[in-house]
Each structure stands twice: as structure tokens, then as C-alpha cells.
Structure 1
């Protein structure tokens, strides 16, 4: 007869009931293992807990029932006067970061086991399910008339007696195991309760500062069961759990607009912490949408520097993880293109090539191609096309996209950008290359392509080809206003003014709305031919469709008249524009230069005096914005004109007005004017005024003025003032006063540097050199040059 050891039905209690049964055929629902596993206890941190493989895993309902049971039992003990047992609380996270440490059990789980074991013992129900099943099965067989052998009957009786004995032994064993478990639990909780008293205060404070993660709350350990029940209260009792209400799209847009205005007005030289402060004070969630929108608004303002600063700030923020970094860089490329910054755009484009997430797509290629084409960077544009057609030069991490292929073929927008570059470079071969590429790829040029080809032919002065491509375009497309603009400029260059007028009239008969550029170019064409009255008729049409101020249109007409030598037409338009708009400073400077180029000094001086009179009516800061005052370019025009016409009085007047208006002395431009005035014997006060202006501004006078002042003082026999001009110079300027420079000055002014004067200069120089401990190289070169002149003369 063989016996089979049955599976332990109470693995959580830590004992194994000893039971042996005869080798009867077992029912199909019994699964008998070969050998039961004994529970082991692991000792860690001066405590004994149950093995991790046999952890008690209560359900959520059992967990709540255990909490209520412990609470009720504690209340009963308090009412009966018994010392309360240590409260059973969930063990907080250990220092290792694991719940309950490495032992796997908590006080609550041990408490549940304790209640479960006691209930089993108190009720006297210590079952060995396998024996009960076998016993009932045999009895059922007997009742049904089954008659086993006598041997089977004896075996059954002996087995039943052993079963009764094992039942009593198992009951006692259950009581002993319960006592051991209870002792271990009390010992373990007594040692840990001291540490919990310290951690309870920390966990309670942590529980108040709830962490909001995806709408859920993470709780620390609490010190009583009532605080555990806070997790099951309604959200109305905890208003701090819910996040703030979501910001509407309109309000978010308003915040972004406000931040963009703030950044647009901020200085680019402000420190990084100030920039971060402005960004965070906007109360914006910096996601992909908000960054892209901010860059777009700054791009509309034309503030490309702040766009780059936003990109740099975004890259340094570790918390900002963009999901659409390619779109952010593309928005930056578009903003830099509007500001016409090809170099910065190319740097951003090269940055996009460094990773797969930002690798350029077709839209990014369009942005960089248009920017480079408008700037005329032909070589860089062809490099972009090669990059577009080639695989990435750098090995990029593609992740799951094993068949990722970013290669693209240039489309019509890229080819049109090449034509734009050909216009700036006047590259005729590039235009034909574009047409050849489109033909090989089976693509048809659109109207914009034909218009750009015509502009290339116009820039290369191939006027016949302009008309030829215009006729080709008319066969497939309806010419737009920009095409007629190219045609009008071509006829203007050919001197066919009447045909240009007929072309615009034909365009209007076809029902094509002319742009401001068409009428503006036609008006300039008429002004260059001296037909300014007809040009003013076209200005009325410009006003209907123009976006630029009217003063810009009039200034362009004046410039066209002066370039063609029609000073009378320019004057007529200048007088006519005052009836409709006030001329700006650019208009005044163009007219001033026109008068001077056509030798009308009196008209130019009268116009200059009118500009000076505008400054007399300024009484507030607002008047500065409206008044037109001369700039440095205006003063330089008048100074050159006064010098050319030898108007020394006017030269002195204009020069002093220039210094009074806060403009500085320019040595390269103004030195020769002052020297010529001094050599002419006129206006010596100009030199003294300049000298005083430079000394007050802590500036070093240039060598020609120093030597000229030295000569003037020698003529006046004022040697002290003459040598003071040299002594005040720093030693770093000594190389500008070499011996040869003094020799040239002596030979050019023989009447000033006579023999007697040279001897006095040598005597004074020796005295100064002996008086000073350090040798002045400027005085030493002066003395040597004087001795050399005297030696030659003797």
C-alpha cells in the first residue's frame, strides 16, 4: 500500500498537517503534488516575516473589512480598559524605495492573518480537505451497496483512527502556530512602531501636499485608519485635488500676443535670466503650439533676433520635450525668411539635419529655398538641392522606422527659387538649366516660372528674349500683373514709353487688376521721359491699390527724374507732393543732392536752412517724431558743396551746426576740409573749434590737425602753447610723429620753420627732455628732424 502526501491547505499559517490516505482512485478535481513546500521565515532588520513566495494577498474587500475589524477591536479594548494594541498601519516606503521593504509583508497583512488564524481555531474548524473528501467518498460507496474486501475495511478503520488522532494534533498545532505568529507580529510591530512615529509626521505632511499626477493623488503613509479613509471621500470634500480650470483658446492667444509684444520691445542684450523671467511670467504652457505661435508673431514683427533667442531658450529647457520639433524649426525658417536673414536661416537648416525628429520635410525645403533665392545665394541653394536628393550624411537613429527615406525631388517652388537667385546674380545659364530640369522631369512651367525667366532676361539685358517668353506664356497661361510689370520695365529700358502705356491699357482691357508695382513703374518711366504730369495721373491709380505710404511713391518719382537728368521734373513733383503729404528726410536729401549735382547751390542752401528751421519749433518729445531734422548725411552733403564752391563762411556755419546737433567729428572726412580752409587763410577758428570739441570729448586729435595747430602757434610766437599740443599726446601715438613726417612738414612750410625758429625749437625740446625722467619719443623725433634740416641748410 502506498501513501501520498497531500498539499498543505494552510500555507499562510506556516504549518503542514500530517495526513496519509490509502491509494484509492482520487476524484478528478484533486491535484496532488509530489511534495509540499515548507514555509520559511527570513530574518531581516531584527524581525521575522513570512516568505515572499507565500505572501498573503487579500482582496480589496478583505482589506476594507480588516480595517474595520481592527478599528472595532481597538475601540472595544479602549472601552474595556485594556491597553490598546499597536495600531496596524501600512508600512511606508523603505529607504530602498520598496513598499514594506524587501520582506514583502505589512503590518496590515500580518494583522489580517492573525484575525484569520484566530477565527479558524476558535471555531474548531481545522480542515484537511483531502481527508474529508476521501472519507465522504468511501462512505458514499458503502451506502450504495459497494462491498469492499475485508482488507480494505481494516485499512479504512485504521486510517479513520489515524485521522481522528491527526485531527486533534492538528488542532493543537494550529494553536501553537497562531501563538508563534502572534508573538512574531507583536515583536516586529513593537520594533517598527518607534520608526513609524518619526515617519508618520513626515508622511502626514507629504499627504497634505498632494502630488497631482494625471488626475490622481499619491498618498504617503498615514498614522491611523481614519486618515486612510480619506482616499475614499468624494472630490467635493477635497477641492484642492482638481486642477485649475483649463484656459480657453482665446485667452491663451491673448497671453501669447502679450508675451510677443513684451519680447519685441525687450533689448536683445538683456541677460538670460531676465529673458527666462519674461517667458515664465506669461503663464503659458510651453507646448509645441504655443512656441510655434510665438515664433510666428515675432516673425510678423520682423524681430528675427528674438526668434533665435526663443529657439535657444527652448533647447536649454530640459523639461520641454517637443513632439513636433520639425514644425518649430520650420516656423523659425519662415520668420527668418520674412526678415531676409539667409545666413541665420542656413544655420537653422543645418541644425535640423542633425536628428530624425527635426529632419527637413518639403515645407522646410521650400522655406530655405525661397530665402536663399531671394538673397541670391546660388551656391548655397544648389547645396540645399543636393541635400534634398541625397540620404542623410550623418547616421541618424531611426528607431522602428527601418525603411525611413527622407529623400525628395525638387518641385516647382524650389526651381522658382533658383530663378530668383538668377535674377540677383544675372545668371542667364541658370535660367536655362531650370527649364531643362523641368523638361526632363516632365513638369510644365507655371506662370510664375515664366515671369521669373523674363526677369532674368531683363536683368541680363536680353530684351528680345523677354518678349519671346512673354509670347510663350500667353499660349498656356493668362499673364498676371507681375508679368506686365516686367514687360513695362523692358519697354522702359528700350525707350519705348508709348508702348509701355499701351501695354498697361491692354492689361486693363483684359480685366486684369493692375498691382501698385505696375502703375508705379509706368509713372517712373514717364518721369524719366520728362512727362511728369502724365506720371501724376498714374499716382492716382497707385493710391487705389498701394499698401506703402504715398511719400514713398513721390520720392521714387523724384529719384527717377533726377537719375535721368530732369531736375525740373523733380522740382515739379517735389512741390506737388507738399499738397498731399509732407516730405520725409529721404526726400529732402534726394532733392538736396539733386540741386548740388546740377550746380544749384543757392536752392540747396535754401532747402538746408528750411530743415534747420524745423528744429526751432520743437517743444516736446512728440514734436521730434513729426519734425524733419537734418542728419549727418545732410551735413556732409552741404560741407562738400561748400568746400567745392569755396564758400568758407557757409562751411563754418554748417560745421558748427553739425557739432551743435550732436554729430561727431570724422577724421577721415572732415580733416582735409579744415586743413584746406586753414591753408586758404580762411576760417582758422574751425581748427580751434575742432580742437576744443575733441579735448572736451576726451578724444585724441589726428596728427595732421596737431601739426597744423603746432605751426599756427609758432607763427604767433606762442611756444608754450605749441609744445603743449605735443606734450599732451600719449606715448602710444609716437609712431604717427616720426622723423620723416616732421621733415615733410618743415619742407612744406619753409616760411614758418626758419633757422631761428628751428634753433628755438631745439633749445625748448632739450629743456623738456632734461626736465622729464622718461624720454618723450615725439619730442626726440622733432629735435632730430630740426637738426637734420639745419645741417642740410648749413
Structure 2
């Protein structure tokens, strides 16, 4: 921007006639004293800019010199430094020399210059050489500001630069920078929408991948690094992208960050909150969405509109929160509880009436809760408002009837729907499910054919339910024909559809058709782990142990061929459910060799011992002569630093004592400092010796007493003392029985 210049009397003298004749036709007198010129209109001619000004009837001609500075605090400091340095260097040569500075010049059009944030500085030397006064005159020419500072010398100039460099680093912190109308974004080149979208996408991905517990200053720094001018639209877009990524926690963090920015002036804060409500709804977070909705009620600028009500209603309806949903409807119809200063909006009335989306959300919540009275309330409200329910509303009412087991009402209501409007795919889906529950497969097929004749496009769920209905009726071949229709409209993987058909066959007790579908699906897609577990359980329930064993061994073979992480995507490995299913089956069949093999494989695959599921199997295997399982489990628990159950400790003690190894038997509980006195009391030891006395030799018990007495003499141990007393009583009892 071209600034004002100060000329000497010699320079003004020859130009006074030109200025007098061209700029001042009224022939006012012109003062020859220098003044502070304020540029108002400029005209560029042959490299010289002519500027007119009025200041006590004077005028000057100013030469245009443009310097481009980045609008940042750092450049401002540098400009002020140059003023001071030039002042000191010119004090020795001439007192009449004046400096001019140009700030923030922006060209628009041809031959014209638009001035924004114009600032003109004049430096005047006063009698006191240790101080200077910098007068700043704005474009409107009203206010001045005086700044006092010490004289700058060559030595302290370097010190000032070092200090200001450190200060500039601090100024990079976002806490000292405003969001709106910042100098660092005003003169930035405009970017296209495509580039802006790329930056927003990149920023959202970075926020999604970052630690959710990062401090606020680090979060602010990450937001600033995107070089985006944060506006309502950009904030909304970031929230929408994070919502698609499912990171609802980061969405709330963005909202909190906006609320903490006091200098962020949003004109569409309601839209930002609404975008956050939509993101929380897609993430199925009703509690967080309701809390955000209540925050919107606290301010007039963020008070909910119909779109916000739709978002919160759908979210609460999907979660089945009926009470909170009815509260939202009451808020929607009532005036604000908090009194706002409406200013010029004296007739501002945020009250709204529920529409079809709100009523459908209420019906959705009623379906989840199986509240029959909610459907009557919705129908009565629609009738009271004179509105005709849509086919979607009728479908939700029918779904509620089906959930409550009102099958007769479903058929009656469907006939009324056909008379009033064209049924949609949802209503036909409810009819198919009702006929399926009633065991009427032929009527279900006829209902779908009627739908197709009407030109209604069926959903994947409709054809999926029809296929399961046919599988339950034993008509597996007809059910597989529905796969082609499902593939045309389905968005889920094909393996999910086949798994559902297999489960429908098994639920009806038709294992043969289930096996047929399982073999048939492998022509088109590979079964997943859920499919294999379903078939494994089906084989075992029907007594087909060998078939189940072959399927399980196939899963183990997949695990043996895994060499890197990418192999896990292509191969199915057994999970803990698979191992538990096979262990239960092997134990029921008393195939202890298979039990030992499956249990060992389970530990190798990284699964852990579960006392509720595995302890009884291990004890039964020990009774059958499989001692290795007991020792394997003990070693596994010791390595994992887990507390063994008391029953397992007792069994290990008895097994080692049965083998005649007293030291190993004592180490089984001496190495466990967590064993309490109440667990192994004198009564408990007596019971253990009595129940397992037939397993011990008399010499072994005597040797045990000797080892215990030595240990007790070294250090007091209540558990060992109680064990020694129980051994004495047990041996005394055996001697009496012998006599």
C-alpha cells in the first residue's frame, strides 16, 4: 500500500502552483510547512502516483513505492525495527529526512489500488534523544497512538532481534491467534473447492488417527497445521468426515474446541451442532447426542430447528429411548424455558409441530420396546392434525404388531393399508415374516409375487426372509433361487446370506439341507468362522462326531499354513468357541486322547485356561489317567502369573504325593503366597487326606511329616502346621483301623 510521504519545503515550492491550480480551484492559501498526508484517491500516471489530501489547505505529490509484507505479527515487528534503525542512521546526516513505510497494499483491477488496513507512520525527532514518538494515523484520520521507547543502538539491536525471534516462536502457538479475520489468512491466495476439500479430508484423517487423549494445545496445533481458514462450513465438513469415519469422540472434541475459542464468531453454530448430532446418531451414541441437544437449548443462536429435531429423534428412536423421545416432542411444541434477548426478532417463535419423521422415530422406539400403546398415540396424533400416514408409518405399525405377536392384526391392518395407499417393501416384509411364523410358505411366495406385480422393488431383507422361510419349510432348492434377487439389491457379503440360510435349516432340525447349503456355498464364496462354528455345533448336536472332527482339523490346518500377518485374511482359524465346543464333545464321548490334543492346541493358539469351562474336564481326564493335562495347566498358570483355583492346587498336591515326591507336593502350595489360611485349614487338610488316602503310601505320609517339621522349624507357617497335625491324626486313625 502506498503511504504518505513528507517532503521538504524545497520540494514543495516548485509544485505549489500545480497543486493550487489543479486541486484547489477555490484559491485557498497553501501552507509550506510539512504535514501528515493521508491518501484518498490515487491515479497512476507514468510511474508517478498523484494523491490529493486536505490538511489545512495543503497538498503534496507522493511517489509510489510498494513493499509486500505478509500480514503477520513477525513482519510487523520487522517493519518497526527498520523504522528505528533508519532513524538512528539518519540522525547524523540530516534532521529533515523522513521515512515512509507501506503496509498491506492489494491491487484490484487495472491502474487502481485498494487500500485495506492502511497505516501511516511518521517519526519525529524530539529534543530528548533517548525517546521517540511514533504517530499512527488511520485512514479516517481521527486517532493517534504514541509509543515511547528507548534509543536503539547497534549493540542492543542484535539483542532485540534474538528476543523477538524467541517471541515469534511463542506467537506461533495457536492460543495467541484468532480464528476469524486474522492477518495471516486475509492475504492468503484463494484456493479452489477441490483443494479445500483435500485439505479438510487430510485434516480429518489426521485427527482420526491421532491419540484421543492428546492435550488441547497439541490438538490446536494440529488444527492450525492444515492452513485452513476455519469457518462454519469447514468445521461442519470436518465433523461430517469424522462422523463417516465413526470417530464420535473426536467429533465431541471438535465441538469443545470451538466452544473454547472466544474469538471464533460463528453465524451458523446451529448447523455445526446439527452436523455433530447427525454424526453421533450414525455412531449410535444416544446419550452423547442428548447431552449435545440440551446444550443447544441454552442459546438462541443454537436453538434447534426441524433438522436438529429429526437427528435427535431418529437417534433416540433407534436406541429405543421412549421417555427421552417424548420429552423432545414436548420441547419441540413448547416455548423455550430460558428467556432470550430477541432484540429485533420480537416475533421469534421456535415452536414446531412434529412431522412424519418424528412420528416414525417414535414408532421405531415402540418397536424396540414392544410398546403397543405408542402406535395408538402416533395414529391419534396424525388423525388430530389431519395428516394421512405414509406407507412407511403403516409399515412400522405393522412391525410393532408383529413384534408383539399380534399376527391377526397384521393381516387386518395390511388390508386397510391396501385400500388407503400403496404398500411399500417394509409392509410386505412384515407380512412375509408373519406368514413364516405361521408356517405358510406358499402364502409368503404369493405375497412377494403380488408385490412384484405392483412394481414395488423389494429389499434385500425381504428376499432374505423369504429364503429363510423356505429353508424352514424344507424347500431348500427354492430358497437358493432367491439368492440372485438378493445379490441385486444386497449390500452385505454373500457369506452372511448363506450363513443365515444354514441357521434356518438347522433351527428347523433339517441338518441334511444345512449341510447341502454349506457345501453349495463353497462354489461361490468361502465360509467364514461363524459359518464353520455353526456347522461344528450342528454336527455335534446330531451325533456326527467324525464330521465335526474333520471340520475342526481343517481349521487347524489353516493355522499351520500362516506365516505372516497377511495370511490371516485368507485363512480361517479356530477361536475359543471352536475349542470349547470340541472339548465338550470329546469329554462327552470320553475320548481323552482327543481331549488332550484339543486342549494342548488351545493353549498353543494363545487361548487361556478357564476354570468354569476347563477345570472339570481336566479333573475327569486326570481320573482317566491323563496326568499330562494337569501338569500342562499348572505350568501355563505359573508362567502367566495367574492364581490357580484351590481345587487345582489340591489335585496337583495329591498327584505329586501319589508319585512319592514330597518336595514337589509341598512346592505346589509353598510357591503360592496368595493361599490363605482359611482355604487350607486343619479341617480342609483332614478332608483331603481322607478322600484321597487310598492313593498315598504310609511311608510317603511319614516322609511328608518329616519334611514339614523341618520347614516349620526354620520358619513359622500356619498352613504347614495344620498339614502336619492332619497327617498325625490321619496316620493315627489308620493304625487304629489296622488294629
| Pairwise same-fold verdict (TM > 0.5) | yes
Shift of 1:57: 10
Q: Is the 8 A contact 1:86 1:189 kept in 2?
A: no
What is the match of residue 153 of structure 1?
A: none
What is the match of residue 32 of structure 1?
A: none
User: Take 1:250 and 1:686, find their aligned partners in 2: how far apart are those partners?
Assistant: 65
Pick from 771, 774, 785 the counterpart of residue 714 of structure 2. Answer: 771
User: Take 1:107 and 1:343, find their aligned partners in 2: how far apart are those partners?
Assistant: 58
What is the match of residue 456 of structure 2?
A: 512
User: Take 1:326 and 1:789, find their aligned partners in 2: how far apart are those partners?
Assistant: 82
What is the match of residue 653 of structure 2?
A: 710
Q: In the alignment, does 2:246 pair up with 1:309?
A: no
Pick from 277, 282, 300 the counterpart of residue 338 of structure 1. Answer: 282
What is the match of residue 500 of structure 1?
A: 444
What is the match of residue 156 of structure 1?
A: none
User: Take 1:241 and 1:292, find their aligned partners in 2: how far apart are those partners?
Assistant: 19
Pick from 47, 55, 58 the counterpart of residue 62 of structure 1. Answer: 55
Q: Is the 8 A contact 1:731 1:776 kept in 2?
A: no
Query: Which segment is superposed worse, 747-756 or 685-694?
Result: 747-756
What is the match of residue 751 of structure 1?
A: 694
Pick from 609, 628, 631 the counterpart of residue 665 of structure 1. Answer: 609
User: Take 2:510 and 2:482, find their aligned partners in 1: how far apart are those partners?
Assistant: 19
Q: Is the 8 A contact 1:554 1:577 kept in 2?
A: yes
Pick from 542, 566, 586 the counterpart of residue 530 of structure 2. Answer: 586
Output aligned runs, 1:444-523, within 5 Å: 444-523=388-467
Q: Is the 8 A contact 1:611 1:629 kept in 2?
A: yes
Q: Is the 8 A contact 1:559 1:590 kept in 2?
A: yes
User: Take 2:615 and 2:265, find their aligned partners in 1: how far apart are those partners?
Assistant: 60
User: Take 2:450 and 2:632, find their aligned partners in 1: how far apart are those partners?
Assistant: 64
What is the match of residue 434 of structure 1?
A: 378
What is the match of residue 322 of structure 1?
A: 266
What is the RMSD of the two structures over their aligned residues, measured on CA atoms? 3.8
> Gaps (5+ residues) in structure 2?
1-34, 39-52, 63-91, 101-119, 134-147, 169-175
Q: In the alignment, does 2:671 pair up with 1:728?
A: yes
What is the match of residue 88 of structure 2?
A: none
Q: Is the 8 A contact 1:523 1:557 kept in 2?
A: yes
Query: Which segment is superposed worse, 775-784 or 281-290?
Result: 775-784
What is the match of residue 584 of structure 2?
A: 640
Q: What secondary structure sits across from 2:429 in the alignment?
A: helix
Q: Is the 8 A contact 1:355 1:397 kept in 2?
A: no
What is the match of residue 390 of structure 1?
A: 334
C-alpha distance 724-485 of structure 1, shift in aligned 2 (>3 A):
same
User: Take 2:725 and 2:347, find their aligned partners in 1: how far apart are those partners?
Assistant: 83
Q: In the alignment, does 2:369 pair up with 1:425?
A: yes
Shift of 1:272: 5.3
C-alpha distance 635-788 of structure 1, shift in aligned 2 (>3 A):
same
What is the match of residue 350 of structure 1?
A: 294
> Gaps (5+ residues) in structure 1?
1-55, 70-81, 91-105, 112-187, 219-239
Q: How many residue pairs are counted as aligned between the two chains?
A: 609
User: Take 2:126 and 2:259, find their aligned partners in 1: how far apart are those partners?
Assistant: 52
Pick from 556, 561, 573 the counterpart of residue 505 of structure 2. Answer: 561
Q: In the alignment, does 2:547 pair up with 1:606?
A: no
Q: In the alignment, does 2:323 pair up with 1:379?
A: yes
C-alpha distance 320-469 of structure 1, shift in aligned 2 (>3 A):
same
Shift of 1:344: 2.5
Q: Is the 8 A contact 1:349 1:368 kept in 2?
A: yes
Deviations 1:642-692 (A, max 9, x none): 1222221111111111111122222332222212221x2332101111111
Output aligned runs, 1:280-291, within 5 Å: 280-291=224-235
Q: In the alignment, does 2:471 pair up with 1:527?
A: yes
Q: Is the 8 A contact 1:86 1:193 kept in 2?
A: no
Q: In the alignment, does 2:643 pair up with 1:700?
A: yes
Shift of 1:553: 0.8
What is the match of residue 163 of structure 1?
A: none
Deviations 1:676-734 (A, max 9, x none): 221x2332101111111222223332222111111111111111111111111124755
User: Take 1:701 and 1:726, find their aligned partners in 2: how far apart are those partners?
Assistant: 10
What is the match of residue 361 of structure 1?
A: 305
C-alpha distance 258-189 of structure 1, shift in aligned 2 (>3 A):
closer
C-alpha distance 723-560 of structure 1, shift in aligned 2 (>3 A):
same
User: Take 1:574 and 1:428, find their aligned partners in 2: how far apart are those partners?
Assistant: 40
Shift of 1:617: 2.8
Q: What secondary structure sits across from 2:694 in the alignment?
A: coil
User: Take 1:606 and 1:419, find their aligned partners in 2: how far apart are those partners?
Assistant: 48
Shift of 1:527: 0.4
User: Take 1:422 and 1:258, find their aligned partners in 2: how far apart are those partners?
Assistant: 41
Q: In the alignment, does 2:196 pair up with 1:249?
A: no
User: Take 2:302 and 2:712, find their aligned partners in 1: how far apart are those partners?
Assistant: 71
Q: Is the 8 A contact 2:559 2:573 kept in 1?
A: yes
Shift of 1:522: 0.5
What is the match of residue 190 of structure 1?
A: 127
User: Take 2:533 and 2:596, find their aligned partners in 1: how far apart are those partners?
Assistant: 20
C-alpha distance 702-319 of structure 1, shift in aligned 2 (>3 A):
farther
User: Take 2:364 and 2:180, find their aligned partners in 1: how far apart are those partners?
Assistant: 54
Pick from 515, 521, 535 the counterpart of residue 571 of structure 1. Answer: 515
Shift of 1:312: 3.4
The higher radius of gyration belongs to: 1
Q: Is the 8 A contact 1:107 1:189 kept in 2?
A: no
Deviations 1:248-289 (A, max 9, x none): 111111111222333344454556555444433333222221
Q: Is the 8 A contact 2:180 2:230 kept in 1?
A: no
Shift of 1:787: 6.3
What is the match of residue 623 of structure 1?
A: 567
C-alpha distance 742-436 of structure 1, shift in aligned 2 (>3 A):
farther
Output aligned runs, 1:229-268, within 5 Å: 243-268=187-212
The structure whose residues are more often helix, as a share, is: 1
Deviations 1:188-241 (A, max 9, x none): 9313664459557599999xx9x99999999xxxxxxxxxxxxxxxxxxxxx99
What is the match of residue 171 of structure 2?
A: none
